[in-house]
Amino acid sequence: MTGGPATGEASRGRVGIAVASGMLKGVYGHGVLSAFEERGLRADVYGAASSSGLSCGLAAIGRAREAGVDYWLGAAAAAGEHGMSRVVLDSIATYGPRLREGLFLPGAPEYLLATSKVTDEAAAETTQGPGAKALGKQLLRNVFTGDRSWVERNLAPVVFSSRAVPGEGRPRLTPGNHDAVAYASTRMLHAWAIPAEIDGEAYVDASYTCSCPAREVAARGVTELIAIGSDPFPLFRDLYASEEIADGSVLDGARVLVVKPREDLKSLGVDYAAATPEGLVKAYEAGLDAGHGFLDGRPGLLAASAAPGEGAA
């Protein structure tokens, strides 16, 4: 199947969902996905980056509600004690088997997972060594100045797909490399001590180059693209705000519909790297409410979405 609609799909359209990163604020997006699942909205294509990888992957196999807010409660509780690398690796060990089982079934939706590949040998040595933390802190400071020169010189967005498309050359996500790609997608240099490699090459967090793979999902021939953010501010493609993903805009022929919080989740007790249990529950419930409200105002999306098993190559 190419990026365009398959036979029989043009009449109902194709739906894509791209979920932005946000560390612990990703609990909101998980709530939105759970609401979609409750209402029977099944997308043809799901795209994730960094912390949205697990929730989006579970949504792609129809199991977002199963993990629910409990996943985020466990992750937040373990973060302070074990560090973020260990938290992510443990979550992959817990949820990886069911993701590897479901994402690659013949009838599963296409699942895209973004990463940032380190393209320079010297930069790779830094990201994999003791200088990684200092570099990561500098890259975060650069967010406030808009300086993305290091990123442009040394990183490239690489988006892995669960579906092989002949002649396309997109990197393949497989049961064999899923766990490595999932970890690499999350590896923020300032706080993740364990380096990330895929097939022996250095990778870092998707957010440096692609924190919301909306363009990549749109390129899969969808007509409706739902982009889910974790902040009330404008939704951008990457940490450095290189491109806004605007509600009502059109990407590669797909109409963009943005779902994001009405207020900063910090007011509920959820920040990027720290959150209270009560805050996580409130943020998840806010996502649930937003997801249901979004669909209430767009009943045609439910009719347009693929039923389980449809849209596969």
Write the pLDDT tens digit of every residue in 158-181: 999 999 776 777 899 999 999 999
Q: Quote the CA–CA distance of 100 and 92 in Å, as a whole number.
A: 10
Write the pLDDT tens digit of every residue in 273-284: 999 999 999 999
| Cβ-count burial 257-285 (b if 16+ within 10 Å, e if not) | bbbbbeeebeebbbebeebeeebbbbbbb
pTM score, whole prediction? 0.92
69 token code pair: 């807010």
pLDDT-derived band at 210 (thresholds 50, 70, 90) equals very high
Evaluate whether 180 touches 197 at the Cβ level (below 8 Å).
Answer: yes
296 token code pair: 């209430």
Q: What are phi and psi of 46, to 5 degrees?
A: -120, 135
CA–CA–CA angle 44, 296, 63 (5° rounding) = 45
* More confident of the two residues 302 and 126: 126
Q: What is the pLDDT of residue 170?
A: 81
Domain map (residue ranges) of the chain = 15-114+159-182+209-270
**Adjacent-strand bridge partners of 228:** 19, 259
